[in-house]
Structure 1
Amino acid sequence: MREISILIADDEKEIADLIAIHLKKEGYIVMKASDGEEAVQIAENHPIDLVILDIMMPRMDGYEVTRQLRENYNMPIIFLSAKTSDFDKVQGLVIGADDYMTKPFVPIELVARVNAQLRRFIKLNQQKATNEAKGDMMFGGLTISPEHHSVTLYGEQIELTPKEFNILYLLASHPKKVFSTENIFQQVWGEAYFASGNTVMVHIRTLRKKLEKDKQKDKWIKTVWGVGYTFNG
């Protein structure tokens, strides 16, 4: 099993060195960056399992580092900052951080939070790998199982007709790709499409109603006006 690597990004060398000492005692591989740009470069070139990130750093602040990392990676990010206001904490969590600690800090508490985040991250990845091995597709709270021809939304079974399931499976198999109503009809029904028919539109409408448990309109299936439909996975 690959050893777990943690990136510490802080322009205060003494703090980075102190954190590194405690993490190495836990058996973690530690990498350090003294500014935001260096932190992004390290994450892009090395397998990183968790990031401990200061906010106020030269060249690129922690907020921007988080935004860039979240475009491609889902490792836990813990902010460790001298900014103590509730606004700063909320902003950090909103843009993608998983936890927020303020300076001065107790090293053993930071280590405990690192361990907790890693346990959660590893567990979720193992669950995802298991589901993918079974052929299941997972998108946030939505799970589509072609093997069992079933769909769950936030753990709740969603009853779909065979045609509704096939439409959802077609769209979800190609996230962001736009399918015309003609293309959907031909692939799901296996027949020639008649422009006068609204069969696909009716099925999309009922499918959306069944998937809108979170009350977010068009969260999963989006309309691209004048073109067709796409899956927002």
Structure 2
Amino acid sequence: MKNIWFTIYSSPKHDNKYIGLNNYRTLLEFLLIPAIQDKINRNKKIQKIMFCLIPELEKDLIDNFKSNYSNKRIVNGGIINLEASSSEIDWNNLSVIEKKDFLIKKWKVLFDNLSEDYFITDKSEVLKSLDKLKNQEWRITNTLFKKKIKYNKETYNVVMDISTESAQLALVRDSDEKWITLKNYETWQIETDANFKNFKFEDDILTFVNKNLFSSMLESPVVFNLKEILK
């Protein structure tokens, strides 16, 4: 079954008010799937659950949200959307902990104001999962491919270490778990420039193949010379 897309957005005219939000949004999209998705009623045909941050709003538009989604059999267009106020905070001056608290608070507002028929568990279980997520480290380290790289009698895994600040593409050596950084990205780039489906390795040259056809056509290939990197 296709994953539900959990996301956060704002108007492009407010980009300067939410510097770095794209990184938090991207990481949360991955964290919310295991935390929340299996508690959602998929019979509602939900495809996307999101909230929009609007600095001009004095409060979240909860009444409007309830009228749109309360006890509806199937969500129109598969989208659940909350118009959320950010008037009480200055995102750019918040600490990492404050940003996490704020975003989880808005997710709790959204889920708390959905009627019970949107869940296959008690709604309180969803809110508990969000509290648990708020208090854990927001970091994911994934091995990107089953296939490993064999070079100079050593074997390496290709990994991506993702945090709210950056996404680091690296090799991890099997013999001693040494970490060799290949390239640092903005976290949001794991959905575009750093969204790799495979790699090619020939004559010391490691080349990554992008999943996104549009990106692969417009961007230069991501290439590394392991003879230089693994001296």
Normalized against structure 1, the TM-score is what? 0.27
Between structures 1 and 2, the one with greater helix share: 1
What's the TM-score once normalised by structure 2's chain length? Answer: 0.27
Higher strand fraction: Structure 1 or Structure 2?
2
